[in-house]
Chain A
Amino acid sequence: MNKKKLIAIVLSLVVVGGLFGGCGKKEAASTASSSSDGTTDVAKLEPYTIKWYTIGTPQKDLAAVNLEVNKYLKEKINADIEITQFDWGDYEQKMNVKINSGEKFDLAFTCSWALDYKTNAKKGAFLAVDDLMDKYGKDITKLIDPNFISGNKIDGKLYAVPNNKEIGQERVFRFNKKYVDKYNIDVTKYNTYESLEPILKQVHEGEPSLVSPYRMGVVELNYDYLIEGLPIVLDLDSDIDKFENWFTSEKALNYMDTARKYYKAGYIRKDVVAALKNGGDEDKTGNWFIDTAGTQPYADQLWSASFGYPVVINSINPAVTNNTSVSGSMIAISATAENPERDMMFLNLLNSDVYLRNLMNYGIEGTHYNKTGDNFETQTQEGINNYTMPAFSVGNTLITYLPTGTPADKWKKFAEFNKNSKNSPMLGFDFNTDELKTEIASLKSVKDEFNDALVSGSVDPKVYIPKCQAKLKAAGIDKVIAEAQKQYDAWKATK
């Protein structure tokens, strides 16, 4: 009996110990003291390794480039970095496990569509960088568009360093140049979905084997979305600052009727819903005439190069800076980082130092690319195969070299684009959804159920919109809209 008791006591101690051991392991980030004026005397700095996790298909020569970067960093800030890339599909999952288990690392890529910036900042996974940027990141503040900073503040604090790129969202119609030329079409005349009808008819009749005269893509009606994935929008064309249900809004209803017309006329492929899920193959085959896409200055050149056949574009809406576009690419400092000052010094270099930034972007000169001018480069075959990084994710894109053949004023055009991009009235508004989590989840699933079919015109809107509406109401859309309106009006009053 004694032995049994002993074993029972030992086991229960183990269980209890396990309970405490598993509790939150968040240690406060060490606040190393440093010179108050922010200048760095390299000789006084201790060596430090910066662990950086970023997104993208792991490149074969990443280790070699990492070594080069370290040689350079050693002189500048007596630090070296350890870059690890996670593939697009895994990045979020892997980073979530790392953050939840309190793993020590320094930098992580974050944005609105991967490792969600807002959610993780609120969770306490990222450090507030305002003070750090004032002390060690002055060049960043100078170089990036100020809306990047103000648009990303949560409760007055910034939790990641934005990567300078295009700040606004502008959608365009893309036209397959082959058909534009053949039918002598003036693309500048077409900037609404309804207006496309005559040319769609013309091309469809002239090309019976064309699979997708109108290729389904994103629907741009100049709305700003309250939350990505929810059908609650703010009409940017009107001054009434009220949220509405996308499926009952006038512009969307008109659009869905147009889409239905096009579908029945054969301008949209019959199996469009399946194609939407699988991506369709039109990119490769060029078997399409018109589609929509998000643009940036000189995007048409990029697309023509990627597709292998030329496309021309026409704008649908003027560029808008909204909550999603402003947080499209950022680098956050982890709350578990041991030397956040050094991390900020590195980020400062990454965003301002031309040599470092291009080393990260293109690799080693001579091996992965060759300079063809002061600010131009051409990738070598080795560069294409072994080192192609997602340029937007590794710092200030406006200081990178341009591929040979790109117009020399591309970055100037970007700066102009950013300046002219209009701020959405909702920019900076953080919708507190703590009380509405169930409604939001159900609304998302109703939207997923009906969106593709209605938006592609493959079902009759007269039949399906009432069904969709009924489900949305049951999921609580009115409640969410009312709450959003309340918070929005209150937030507006404080500005």
Chain B
Amino acid sequence: MNGLPLFWDIFLTSLVGLFALVCVFPFVLIVIISLTDEMSLAKNGYRFIPKQWSFEAYKYVFKGSSALGQAYSTTIFITVVGTVAALAIMSLYAYALSRKNFKFRKFFTFFAFFTMLFSGGLVPTYIVVTQLLNLRDSIWALILPMACNAWYIMILKTFFKTSVPDAIVESAKIDGASEVRTFLQIVLPISLPGIATIALFSTLGYWNDWFNALLYIDNAEIIPLQYMLMKIQNSMDFLRGNINAVSSAESLKAMQQMPQETARMAMVVLATGPIVLAYPFFQRFFIQGLTIGAVKE
């Protein structure tokens, strides 16, 4: 079909197929472990066909004693609100940059570009967010720091420049539309592919973020999903590693309070599940988006 000799066709297909299998295999294992009975896991280890199946892990997780529900709603909230906010901020910025008759175009382009090269670092960022903006323990600390990404702005700028012909903007102006109206009613509708791509990148970024929660959130009620998972894993590693320092009776007690192996696997499945399921639908946009920032002709 694609001109390769049959032997090479089979060989390459199976090679790539093998690679795909290797990628999928750990995730399938995780799903299976989450459905294994805890005791059988301890006695027999990880198996593809567990000696004993059990939904205990999911029951535990949904029972609510694990705060998973809250973490889920927090993550959904910051993903939705964050993506909307990020799109609003970045598309407005990028659109202004894309218009030739914007007087301060060079300055603002440089302003955004500069942040891609130099950054204050962790502690200054922390000081700005907590002391200047007073966002410690606020859910906005999970949304605002990621709402403006210079790279996405550049992508959007190029996209606006190349897919929105000057003629359209001109004709809108002649018809008496204000700048805002032009943007909202003329430019946005025809820029949907670009907006969708950046929306996708932002959504993934927000969904997977745990670092901002680590830094800024002390209140256990508004921690997002990924951070919660990471916390549990870190704490277990810490207690195991320090089992001699923390009196072993205490660390034993503390470890028993934490979700067991299968419950943690169940959490992983629930945390990554939505993205994995949604991905096939958005795959098209991703591939489009990868080239959308490229300079055309």
Contacts and interface: CB of A to CB of B under 8 A. Distances in A.
B112 to A, nearest CB: 14
Given A306-B252, A391-B250, A84 B218 contact: yes
B115 to A, nearest CB: 13
Contact of B214 (A18, A90, A112): A90
Given A294-B244, A303-B249, A392-B247, A88 B234 contact: yes
A468 to B, nearest CB: 21
Contacts of A437: none
In this complex, the interface size class of chain A, counting residues with CB under 8 Å from chain B, is 35 or more
A7 B110 CA distance: 12
A101 B122 CA distance: 10
B254 A93 contact: no
A111 interface: yes
Contacts of A56: 254
A31 interface: no
Given A294-B247, A328-B245, A86 B218 contact: yes
A466 B136 CA distance: 53
Interface string A291-323: 001101001001100110000000000000000
Nearest to B118: A15
A114 B250 CA distance: 15
Contact of A94 (B214, B220, B242, B249): B214
Interface in A67-106: 84, 86-90, 93-94, 97, 100-101, 103
Contact of B247 (A296, A385, A388): A296
Interface stretch (B19-27, B49-57, B85-93, B123-131): B123-131
Q: With a 10 A CB-CB cut-off, give which of A89, A279, A385 has the most chain B CB atoms.
A: A89
Interface stretch (A242-250, A281-289, A330-338, A428-436): A281-289
B254 A390 contact: yes
Interface in B205-262: 214-215, 218, 220, 231-240, 242, 244-250, 252-254, 256-258
B65 to A, nearest CB: 7
A57 interface: yes
Interface residues of B, number: 42
A303 B252 contact: yes
A284 B42 contact: yes
A58 interface: yes
Contacts of B237: 89
B100 interface: no
A90 B246 contact: no
B281 interface: no
Interface string B50-75: 00000000000000010000000000
Contact of A302 (B42, B43, B249): B249
A17 interface: no
Contacts of A84: 218
Nearest to A58: B220
Contacts of B11: none
B164 to A, nearest CB: 28
Interface string A373-391: 0000000000001001011
Contacts of B242: 113-114
B213 to A, nearest CB: 10
A322 B26 CA distance: 45
Contact of A306 (B43, B215, B238, B249): B249
A101 B126 contact: yes
A90 B253 CA distance: 18
A87 B244 contact: no
Given A88-B234, A166-B247, A97 B120 contact: no
Contacts of B65: 385
B38 to A, nearest CB: 8
A22 B122 CA distance: 12
A281 B126 contact: no
A218 interface: yes
B120 A22 contact: yes
Interface string A255-267: 0000000000000
A291 B231 CA distance: 29
Interface of A: 7, 18, 22, 25, 56-58, 84, 86-90, 93-94, 97, 100-101, 103, 111-114, 165-166, 218, 278-279, 281, 283-285, 287, 293-294, 296, 299, 302-303, 306-307, 324, 328, 385, 388, 390-392
11 contacts: A56-B254, A58-B220, A89-B235, A103-B130, A285-B43, A306-B253, A328-B245, A328-B247, A388-B257, A390-B246, A392-B247
Interface of B: 39, 41-43, 65, 107, 120, 122-124, 126-127, 130-131, 214-215, 218, 220, 231-240, 242, 244-250, 252-254, 256-258
Given A57-B257, A93-B214, 11 more contacts: A57-B258, A87-B234, A88-B238, A89-B233, A103-B130, A165-B247, A218-B244, A284-B42, A296-B247, A303-B248, A303-B249
